[in-house]
Structure 1
Amino acid sequence: MSETVKLDVPRAAPTPHSRIRLDIQGLRAVAVGVVLLFHANAPFLPGGFIGVDVFFVISGFLITGILIREASATGRVNLAGFYAKRVRRILPAATLVLLATAVLSVLFLPAIRWQSIGGEIIAAAVYLVNLVFAANTNYLNAEVAASPIQHFWTLAVEEQFYIVWPLLIIVMLYLGRRFLARLGRARQLQILLPAGVLLLFVPSLAWSAVYTATDPAPAYFATTTRLWELAVGAMVAVFATQLARIPDRVGFCLGWAGLLGIVVGSVVYTAATPFPGVAALLPTLSAAAIIVGGMAGRGERGAGALLSLRPVRWVGDISYSLYLWHWPLVVVATYLLGGSLRFREGLLVIALSFLPAWLSYRFVENPFRDWKRLQESAGSALRAGAALVGVSALIGAALMLAPTVTQGNQLPPGGALGAMALVSDPAAGDPAAPVVGGFTPTAVDARNDNPVVYASGCHADQGFTEHPGCTLGNADAETTLALVGDSHAASWVPALQEIAAKNDLRLRVYTKSACGFADVATVAGGDARYDACSDWNERVMEQLIAEQPDLVLTTNSVERKVWDDGPLTMSESVQPFSDGLRRSWESLNAAGIPVTVIRDVPRMDIDVPECVSANPGNLAECAVARATAVDAQATPEINAQRGLSETGLVDLTNWICPAEACAPVIGNVLVWRDGHHLTATYSATLATPLEDALRENTVSRELFTER
């Protein structure tokens, strides 16, 4: 993403031609342009994210050219010199943007975000942040706002490639000296470098296809799924001598075809496209086609003539700084504008980002890259790089320690907490009621206030198809209560743990992210068919019928899209999802297993902890009208339960939203960990109301008779 486009190599080496490639600088402009428009929410470029794949190919091509030139001329790769160049080119601007992002976060973003952003700054400083994002792309964080550091994942992937590929070339050089000494250095490279680049390309592409199909969210950020894209560029450099010999007319066709491929991918691809996987072949091969098409002096003709225009090249010149600066500004603007950014607003933000990008390029990138002392001494450059990494790490650590929320967890002595406060004081559920003495968990801690099933591995992520069937409570108890459903079902585990302990029940838990317990094909994030959910439900049904629990408790998010020869809209999905729920319950009833359905929780239309963090002195700002959170929601579970004598329904809505507006805090307990999942702390306070409701329900009352 950041190399100077000057290629000067010995003829004997299988490397690019000796020319300044203005068309590649223009290709950078195309890559950053589609990314910027995509981040500005351009409706006509839903696939603009492929711009980063174009960058990967460019980087792989240029870096490989540098390495091969050195290997051809000297028979070795000077790692210290190589990394010193990377430090001069990349770290100064990146450090400045990380510092600016920390300042912007403190000034404009709520404190709940500071801790995670601080950790991401540290990870970005050492170029491991893509692994952090891959690890955190689970269902628990699905609705958390995007990080202003998120775009640094591409730099992390590139830097990790810069570690793997030079080391692999060093191995190739050793093997050449050891086994092919009689052939000469040029011939050794011609034989071994293709093998080396294929060793990167083939396994990574295969794994990318598999991982993207099974777990697309982390696959997007993983190094292993992206190495092949940089290897495409490396392959062009390795075979450059042969590729440069293609006829001019073929080269011109490749250039225009490559530009068309990038445009088509940007227009046709959407969030529903499994990516990277094989879909990334379109932008990567298109970028490779443009690079090949511009070889042998064709870089300023054909498509290259367009890419070589001065304004286009100018955008390419500042593309690295522009990429770094635009995204933090987009994230901050999105927050300040209420959580959404319209295209015209996004365009304005992108336009404004050109100013800091140009200033950064003019006064940071170029001066550090051309600093004579750092050019002459690799050691000095590496020490400067270590200092910059240290500065970024300190900035991140300071931001991690900075979050404070006015209302802490210093609770008032005595008194009932959470839902139980409503027993003695119904007004405790009024959003206007003052919160005396703080609340728990704090807004900052709410994200991690989850049921034990997540940390224990009992809850299945989206890609998981086997049923863990974990047991909570007394494993030897004679009576078994099974909980089945999605993450909304998992939210009830703290309450059910207390109920199980009190009534000596064995609690079996079968929960899976975004997977309603319904006999119907549903949709996962990105509008892809959720086959892992269907497989999971089949296995769980078999397990339940085999185990014969005394009662199955189930609840699911009512907002669940159904697949019917394609994804249905949410409104179109209500009835088929309801029918699927009913079929599942009927199957259990037919096997002699009673079912009790817990009505889905109210659905807030805001990120409650973030709102509370931003409004610690006025929590009423974070209340949502009951008409929106409850009454406006579809009720497929209520419709599905009607007429089933062995399937009951309990409704705890009034214990969660008892007033005309749903309060963020009830009885000194924060109710929500996002917009539609209960905190584990509040769930635990619902144990008594839930037990009472189960005892009163005709289907489940027998299980809760006095023992």
Structure 2
Amino acid sequence: MTEYGVPKLSTTLVLRPSQAEHKPPSATQVAKASGGFRPDVQGLRAVAVGAVLLFHANWKFFSGGFVGVDVFFVISGFLITGILLREAQGSGRIRLGGFYAKRARRILPAATVVLIATLILTVMLLPQIRWETVGVDTIASALYVVNWVFAAGTDYLNAEIAASPLQHFWTLAVEEQFYIVWPLLLVTLLLLFRRRTKTREGTVADHRVSAMRAARPGVLLVLVLSLLFSIYQTSVDPAPAYFLTTTRLWELAVGAAVAVFASEIARIPHWLGYVLGWAGLASIVVATLLFSGSTPFPGYAALVPTLGSAAIIAGGMNGRAENGVGRLLTLRPMRWIGDISYSLYLWHWPLIVVGTYLLGGELRVRYGLLIVIFSILPSWLSYRFIENPLRNWGWVKHSVKRSLLAGAALMVSSIVLASCVYIAPRIMNPQYEASADTKIGAEALTGDFTNDDLSSFTDAGKPADQIEGGFTPSALDARDDNTEVYGIGCNRPSSAATPKIKGCIWGDPHGDTSVILVGDSHAASWASAYIALAKEHGWKLWVSTKASCGLSSVSQADGDQEYTKCNTWSAMMFDDILAEHPDLVVTTNRYTRAAYKPGLSRGEARMLYADGLHNDLQRLNKAGIPTIVMDSTPEMNSDVPECLSANPDHLTACATPRTDAIGKGATYVKRAVEGLPEADIIDMNNWICPDTEACSAVVGNVAVYRDAHHLTRTFGQTLAKPLEAELRKSEVARSALW
């Protein structure tokens, strides 16, 4: 997404079909031709950005529109390599300073304007809890390392958080990193492969031979190694693999390979070139329509759009650019969209993210399309008054030093403004954080517990400034107020298949009473309360949980796919429980847990999961191990920390009707324990949602959730005593623990 609007060079070689059949072009001519302006490539950009825009507009028909990014990667690899090879063939060297000066003039002006505009929109329209994140993302985007930031943040903890308005900058970061690695590799290989030969053409021929000798093994090395790593990483940990440079370099290398082997590719028959062009376009369309978020990507799947793009570029060589599929790609509207595609890509996503927030967090297709259409206006203005004028500004264009200094100044300006946005929320807003000595929730209660004690939890529906002592954690800190099991890896990520024991024991490791808390992240949310009880009563508590995975004998689902690592973890965990033979097993899961069995409805799949849990509980009971299933945690209609940040003086705006929040998993929980005398249900929902009408975001001076359905660590700790009271009411738990 960087080589948009390439100058229309007059070096394009055009051979008529009859000429090409009788006299193949020379290698020099082909290399020259492949580096000139390609109107079909400009149209291919329109295809790429169109796919991305329709996907981001939330049009489900284009569920694989994200492959437009892969098309851009191939185009960039092809064009950048062509630029580097032409210089290497002409002079025998690559001037890195001049190369990076051109990239700075081309990329940074428009990107900087979008970064600053996004910061302004964030401060004006988004809640303060997003300011810190956007500030960090802006700094990382300005430094072109933001893809690594997103890769590090793709864990389960962030699954419910709204997308960053700068998330699309990850692709620019990958490309810029390629622009650093690839030229340096070529320079190194040129030094290794350069040799002088005595020919009538002199040093120009020598340079051409050296450049080809250097580029061919280099591009194949990058392509093969990165592709193999991409396939591996996508299979073991697909979420971060999507953003990593190392899993994406091969896609740019595919485009680079087309440029490197242009002399051979251009000699293919014209009929084959036309077939390649149409087949390539068909591949991109098929991927756009048939791929989806459940497609493991990039990996093998990315071969479809990348090879399709390469086929279009290859098919258009040797005078075929405006024939075959080129007739479609070179239509004036396609070329115009291609001209502004870089700016269009930059502008559309921040507008979609901000628009989604203003629309209540849900983006319907019609609104998504309207935003996309509207984004054409700032994109055209950016192209017309920023991209072209600044790229061709003579004062910097004719000086490498001034170009690089101007680029550095633009990067610094983004970083400085982003730093201000990052620190502003904590300076501007006290967030009504409760003082340390404030009596919080159940920590103020003693003795036996009854429903009368719920009265101490009911004052939080008031505006924050009317709650005595405020609430804690603050809206800005609530998202990070997470149970301790995450930081030490006791809650296993989706990529892990084995339970963890070491470091996941709390209380007294040699205690006479042993308890195992097992389940998904909702079970992990209860760890703080159980850890407090284990320390107080001297239990040996083992917490073993896994993202989106519960204890069940059936094959479990992860969206539309089989969750194989969950199945392995669940089976191993069950065997570990039998081996440990604890006094009590406690499990709980989000109500969305479901079995994997194609053809079942979601409701049927959830009931089948409950049957699998029932089977496991029954086997544990037969082995003499009593079990407790905790009812599903109430779920809110919004991201609670974000809502608290947006409504600090009106917390009732963050409440969710009780009927919406509670009872979603009651049926499957009852099904799981039905008929089992040594299994019981613990229902804590009245403590989490004490109001009879609505569930509040703040209860007993404590922010309840760190997203829409995971409890904060602080609130979990306040529930320790009420949890003990409920456990004592259960005959199964009471006989096992006391």
| Structure 2 counterpart SS, 1:402 | helix
In structure 1, C-alpha distance between the alignment counterparts of 2:86 and 2:79, rounded to whole Å: 11
Query: Contact conserved, 1:32 with 1:51, CA < 8 A, in 2?
Result: yes
Query: Contact conserved, 1:419 with 1:667, CA < 8 A, in 2?
Result: no
Distance 1:613 1:39, change over 3 A: same
Cα-to-partner distance string for 1:218-274 (whole Å, 9 max, x where unaligned)? 111111111111011001001001101111111111111111111111111111111
In structure 2, C-alpha distance between the alignment counterparts of 1:556 and 1:180, rounded to whole Å: 72
Cα-to-partner distance string for 1:552-598 (whole Å, 9 max, x where unaligned)? 111111112321136x4432222101101111212222322221111
Distance 1:76 1:307, change over 3 A: same
Tell me the equivalent position of 1:307. Answer: 329
In structure 2, C-alpha distance between the alignment counterparts of 1:695 and 1:634, rounded to whole Å: 21
In structure 2, C-alpha distance between the alignment counterparts of 1:668 and 1:14, rounded to whole Å: 73
Tell me the equivalent position of 1:518. Answer: 552
1:21 partner letter: R
Tell me the equivalent position of 1:582. Answer: 614
Query: Contact conserved, 2:119 with 2:421, CA < 8 A, in 1?
Result: yes
1:508 pairs with 2:525: no
Distance 1:24 1:585, change over 3 A: same
1:630 partner letter: I
Tell me the equivalent position of 1:2. Answer: 2
Distance 1:98 1:287, change over 3 A: same
1:690 pairs with 2:707: no
| Structure 2 counterpart SS, 1:700 | helix
Structure 2: give runs of 5+ residues left out of the alignment: 13-25, 200-204, 446-450
Cα-to-partner distance string for 1:184-223 (whole Å, 9 max, x where unaligned)? 4433333332211111111211111121122211111111
1:625 pairs with 2:657: yes
Tell me the equivalent position of 1:429. Answer: 458
Tell me the equivalent position of 2:592. Answer: 559
Tell me the equivalent position of 2:505. Answer: 471
Tell me the equivalent position of 1:148. Answer: 165
Cα-to-partner distance string for 1:324-364 (whole Å, 9 max, x where unaligned)? 00000000111111111111111111111111111111111
Tell me the equivalent position of 1:207. Answer: 229
Q: In the alignment, which of 605, 624, 628 is matched to residue 592 of structure 1?
A: 624
Tell me the equivalent position of 1:372. Answer: 394
| Structure 1 counterpart SS, 2:112 | helix
In structure 2, C-alpha distance between the alignment counterparts of 1:185 and 1:472, rounded to whole Å: 68
Distance 1:245 1:435, change over 3 A: same
In structure 2, C-alpha distance between the alignment counterparts of 1:534 and 1:52, rounded to whole Å: 33
Tell me the equivalent position of 1:256. Answer: 278
In structure 2, C-alpha distance between the alignment counterparts of 1:642 and 1:607, rounded to whole Å: 34
| Structure 2 counterpart SS, 1:562 | coil
Q: In the alignment, which of 323, 333, 357 is matched to residue 379 of structure 2?
A: 357
In structure 1, C-alpha distance between the alignment counterparts of 2:454 and 2:678, rounded to whole Å: 35
In structure 2, C-alpha distance between the alignment counterparts of 1:364 and 1:269, rounded to whole Å: 35
Structure 1 window deviating more from structure 2 (692-701 vs 243-252): it is: 692-701
Query: Contact conserved, 2:562 with 2:596, CA < 8 A, in 1?
Result: yes
Tell me the equivalent position of 1:605. Answer: 637
| Structure 2 counterpart SS, 1:88 | helix
Cα-to-partner distance string for 1:34-78 (whole Å, 9 max, x where unaligned)? 111111112321111110000000000000001111111222211
Structure 1: give runs of 5+ residues left out of the alignment: none
1:498 pairs with 2:514: no
Tell me the equivalent position of 1:390. Answer: 412
1:65 partner letter: G
Tell me the equivalent position of 2:18. Answer: none
Query: Contact conserved, 2:460 with 2:467, CA < 8 A, in 1?
Result: no
Query: Contact conserved, 1:418 with 1:669, CA < 8 A, in 2?
Result: no
Q: How many pairs are equivalent?
A: 703
After TM superposition, give the deviation of residue 472 of structure 1 in Å. Answer: 2.0
In structure 1, C-alpha distance between the alignment counterparts of 2:457 and 2:212, rounded to whole Å: 76
Q: In the alignment, which of 423, 431, 444 is matched to residue 476 of structure 2?
A: 444
Query: Contact conserved, 1:558 with 1:635, CA < 8 A, in 2?
Result: no
1:676 partner letter: H
In structure 1, C-alpha distance between the alignment counterparts of 2:667 and 2:176, rounded to whole Å: 50
In structure 1, C-alpha distance between the alignment counterparts of 2:479 and 2:602, rounded to whole Å: 26
Q: In the alignment, which of 632, 640, 653 is matched to residue 685 of structure 2?
A: 653
2:684 partner letter: L
1:15 pairs with 2:31: yes
Structure 1 window deviating more from structure 2 (113-122 vs 35-44): it is: 35-44
In structure 2, C-alpha distance between the alignment counterparts of 1:414 and 1:221, rounded to whole Å: 44
After TM superposition, give the deviation of residue 424 of structure 1 in Å. Answer: 5.0
Query: Contact conserved, 1:180 with 1:188, CA < 8 A, in 2?
Result: no
| Structure 1 counterpart SS, 2:587 | strand
After TM superposition, give the deviation of residue 13 of structure 1 in Å. Answer: 8.7
In structure 2, C-alpha distance between the alignment counterparts of 1:474 and 1:166, rounded to whole Å: 59
Tell me the equivalent position of 1:462. Answer: 494
Percent identical: 52
Query: Contact conserved, 1:16 with 1:240, CA < 8 A, in 2?
Result: no
In structure 2, C-alpha distance between the alignment counterparts of 1:345 and 1:23, rounded to whole Å: 31
| Structure 1 counterpart SS, 2:63 | coil
Question: What is the TM-score normalised by the length of structure 1?
Answer: 0.96
Query: Contact conserved, 2:454 with 2:687, CA < 8 A, in 1?
Result: no
In structure 2, C-alpha distance between the alignment counterparts of 1:415 and 1:490, rounded to whole Å: 25
| Structure 2 counterpart SS, 1:648 | strand
Query: Contact conserved, 1:430 with 1:663, CA < 8 A, in 2?
Result: no
1:545 partner letter: L
Query: Contact conserved, 1:133 with 1:218, CA < 8 A, in 2?
Result: yes
In structure 1, C-alpha distance between the alignment counterparts of 2:208 and 2:255, rounded to whole Å: 20
After TM superposition, give the deviation of residue 178 of structure 1 in Å. Answer: 7.4
Question: What is the TM-score normalised by the length of structure 2?
Answer: 0.92
In structure 2, C-alpha distance between the alignment counterparts of 1:15 and 1:691, rounded to whole Å: 77
In structure 2, C-alpha distance between the alignment counterparts of 1:279 and 1:16, rounded to whole Å: 33
| Structure 2 counterpart SS, 1:455 | coil
Query: Contact conserved, 2:137 with 2:166, CA < 8 A, in 1?
Result: yes
In structure 2, C-alpha distance between the alignment counterparts of 1:626 and 1:657, rounded to whole Å: 8
Q: In the alignment, which of 47, 71, 77 is matched to residue 54 of structure 1?
A: 71
Distance 1:631 1:424, change over 3 A: closer
In structure 2, C-alpha distance between the alignment counterparts of 1:58 and 1:584, rounded to whole Å: 53
In structure 1, C-alpha distance between the alignment counterparts of 2:158 and 2:461, rounded to whole Å: 29
| Structure 2 counterpart SS, 1:100 | helix
| Structure 2 counterpart SS, 1:483 | strand
| Structure 2 counterpart SS, 1:510 | strand
Tell me the equivalent position of 1:488. Answer: 522
In structure 1, C-alpha distance between the alignment counterparts of 2:594 and 2:111, rounded to whole Å: 41
In structure 1, C-alpha distance between the alignment counterparts of 2:443 and 2:70, rounded to whole Å: 50
Query: Contact conserved, 2:234 with 2:242, CA < 8 A, in 1?
Result: yes
Tell me the equivalent position of 2:448. Answer: none
Tell me the equivalent position of 2:23. Answer: none
1:172 partner letter: L
